Amino acid sequence: MEKQHLYTQTHTPPAPRCARLSRSDDVRPRAPGLSVRAQLGTRRWARWAGAAMAAVFDLDLETEEGSEGEGEPELSPADACPLAELRAAGLEPVGHYEEVELTESSVNPGPERIGPHCFELLRVLGKGNYGKVFQVRKVQGSNLGKIYAMKVLRKAKIVRNAKDTAHTRAERNILESVKHPFIVELAYAFQTGGKLYLILECLSGGELFTHLEREGIFLEDTACFYLSEITLALGHLHSQGIIYRDLKPENIMLSSQGHIKLTDFGLCKESIHEGAVTHTFCGTIEYMAPEILVRSGHNRAVDWWSLGALMYDMLTGSPPFTAENRKKTMDKIIRGKLELPPYLTPDARDLVKKFLKRNPNQRIGGGPGDAADVQRHPFFRHVNWDDLLARRVDPPFRPSLQSEEDVSQFDSHFTKQTPVDSPDDTTLSESANQAFLGFTYVAPSVLDSIKEAFSFQPKLRSPRRLNSSPRTPVSPLKFSPFEGFRPSPGPQELVEPPLPPLLPPPPPPPPSSTAPLPIRPPSGTKKSKRGRGRPGR
């Protein structure tokens, strides 16, 4: 009977109830050689541990009828914290432990509530007609201290034009649904009364445009590396029925390691599978396929034309067809002769020619094989595609960064500006706000990190110089009012994790922020002078 008293409590514990959570499940007696499990017996030990967990999670425990242990005293929620009783019996937990108050919020925090107040502004990375792109740091909730790029769009300017609303819809939907090593990752999307926010991974290597402008041209090996990663990204988009339609150096970012990431998905077209075509006139003129210009209907083959124009740009210093104005540039794309410099290798010349076939059915990648046909071309014969996809191939250029806050690879015209997110004082009508229903999103990877932290177990364009860019962007002209944001397929609530033998300590509470979007100058930023102008511009 004395043993029974050691593991059942008849008094009411004081409130609030606390548990001492050990990092180790090793609970040893002061007398060597005698464990708690040995004193209780396996069955009774399991029932005691189950009652402790039931008290924390407010669960009802059921016992099979006629099971072993009948007649044993029932364990109440008070038994969840028998530390004093254990010590009275000569038992002492060993290892490091701390006292933690168990509350509903600390045990089951629920979905993260995300908003502008969760981020601290660091730098301006870019600016457009509809908003800005900031470098920010997460200061509340999960992923504390992580650096992101925050794209802020003004609703009032977007809803004025149906094509701009479609641009925003497409970008948000595709960023949610597409996950690939060479495509930028969306972490959060949320909105306030007057603004839309996209929280993206921060790609501190800057634009490929900046590096191409600095170098003038790339060596073939360098171009081959970037073209290979882009090919895998385009192939993945096509496999999901998505045409990219705006491939150019300004929309290709580099990670801190030097790998590419496609960004800016506002001109994408979804649900275009084998045999389907679309007629929207959109893109950037110098990289647009002729079938878009003549409006004969186009499919995913337009992306391979754009990749050919980009390849030509990398190897020669300018796109293949340029002129002093937009009309003449379009005429050259439709009817002009392709001229190749003599220094290109035979494989490079052959691939450029096959990319820039005006008949999309004859264009490499334009058939059912899509990206696989491109990958088999001799220009890529030295590429190990499995290693490339796993990012085991060293990039030809790795940005020189002093810290994760370093913005030296971005245009100093923007990064020198004071980062300010202007007050959100615009109020849209209820009908106007209907266009943004379902915009809010939290990435499944973020939800997983929240669960791990609390589990109990051992056309805003991409940031670039909009005014000085030689490109001529063209926006889509079609929009269906019936298209909307797809509801997020990811988990909307946190599911209770399985219960382990003992409770480890939860993480410390995040610091609170009283002022929304505080401004703090980053440290360790390296400044660099970049070359201006490129051959052929």
Q: What integer best gives the mean pLDDT of the chain? A: 74
Exposed (0-12), middle (13-18) or buried (19+): which is 500, by Cβ within 10 Å?
Answer: middle
**228 with 84, same domain?**
no
pLDDT per residue over 259-312, tens digit each? 999 998 888 888 777 777 887 888 899 999 999 999 998 889 999 999 999 999
Q: What is the pLDDT of residue 408?
A: 92
Neighbour tally for 391: CB within 10 Å:
15
Q: What is the pLDDT of residue 535?
A: 39
**220 with 346, same domain?**
yes
**222 with 353, same domain?**
yes
**225 with 85, same domain?**
no
Distance in angstroms (rounded) separating the CA atoms of residues 510 and 519 = 19
* 84 occurs within a structural domain: yes
pLDDT top residue among 154 and 122 = 122
Collapsing DSSP to helix, strand or coil, 172 comes out as helix
Query: Which residue, 452, 503, 457, is CA-closest to 97?
Result: 503
Handedness of CA 178, 285, 341, 464 (dihedral sign): negative
pLDDT top residue among 123 and 504 = 123
* 183 occurs within a structural domain: no
**226 with 369, same domain?**
yes
CATH number at residue 242: 1.10.510.10
Q: Is the pLDDT of residue 313 over 60?
A: yes
**225 with 368, same domain?**
yes
* 167 occurs within a structural domain: no
Q: What is the pLDDT of residue 163?
A: 80
Q: What is the pLDDT of residue 331?
A: 96
pLDDT per residue over 372-427, tens digit each? 999 999 999 999 999 999 999 999 999 999 999 999 999 889 999 999 888 766 66
* 260 occurs within a structural domain: yes
Q: What is the pLDDT of residue 468?
A: 41
Give the rounded percent of residues in the chain with a pLDDT score beyond 90. Answer: 44
**223 with 364, same domain?**
yes
The binding site comprises 151
Distance in angstroms (rounded) separating the CA atoms of residues 99 and 207 = 49
Region 119-144: mean pLDDT is 90
Neighbour tally for 144: CB within 10 Å:
15
Give the rounded percent of residues in the chain with a pLDDT score beyond 70. Answer: 58
The binding site for ATP comprises 151
Q: What is the pLDDT of residue 254?
A: 97
Decide if 246 is catalytic. yes
Torsion over CA of 498, 504, 505 and 509, rounded to 10 degrees? -30
Q: What is the pLDDT of residue 438?
A: 63
* 404 occurs within a structural domain: no
**What residues contact residue 160 under an 8 Å CB cut-off, 6+ apart?**
none
Residue 229: DSSP 8-state: H
The CA distances from residue 129 to 160, 169, 252, 415, 461, in Å, are 13, 17, 20, 17, 9
**What residues contact residue 533 under an 8 Å CB cut-off, 6+ apart?**
213
Q: What is the pLDDT of residue 130?
A: 75
Q: What is the pLDDT of residue 80?
A: 47
Exposed (0-12), middle (13-18) or buried (19+): which is 88, by Cβ within 10 Å?
Answer: exposed
Collapsing DSSP to helix, strand or coil, 532 comes out as coil
* 323 occurs within a structural domain: yes
| 47 confidence band (pLDDT: 50, 70, 90) | low
Task: Tell me the residue range of the domain where 88 lies.
Answer: 2-64+71-102
Last residue of a domain, one of 330, 365, 389: 389
Biggest distance spanned by C-alpha atoms of the chain: 99
Q: Is the pLDDT of residue 490 over 90?
A: no
How many domains is the chain partitioned into structurally?
2
Last residue of a domain, one of 329, 358, 389: 389
Cβ atoms 4, 48 nearer than 8 A: no
Please tell me the least confidently modeled range out of 46-60, 67-81, 341-355: 67-81
**Secondary structure of the chain: what % helix, strand, coil (to 5)?**
30, 15, 55
Region 165-173: mean pLDDT is 83
| 89 confidence band (pLDDT: 50, 70, 90) | low
Last residue of a domain, one of 352, 368, 389: 389
Neighbour tally for 469: CB within 10 Å:
16
Q: What is the pLDDT of residue 93?
A: 56
Cβ atoms 183, 440 nearer than 8 A: no
Which member of 246, 313, 406, 421 is catalytic?
246
* 484 occurs within a structural domain: no
* 116 occurs within a structural domain: no
Region 164-181: mean pLDDT is 87
**HSE toward the beta carbon, residue 387, CA cutoff 13 A:** 8
- pTM of the predicted protein model: 0.64
Query: Which residue, 385, 266, 364, 257, is CA-closest to 311?
Result: 364
**What residues contact residue 198 under an 8 Å CB cut-off, 6+ apart?**
150, 151, 153, 171, 172, 175, 186, 188, 189
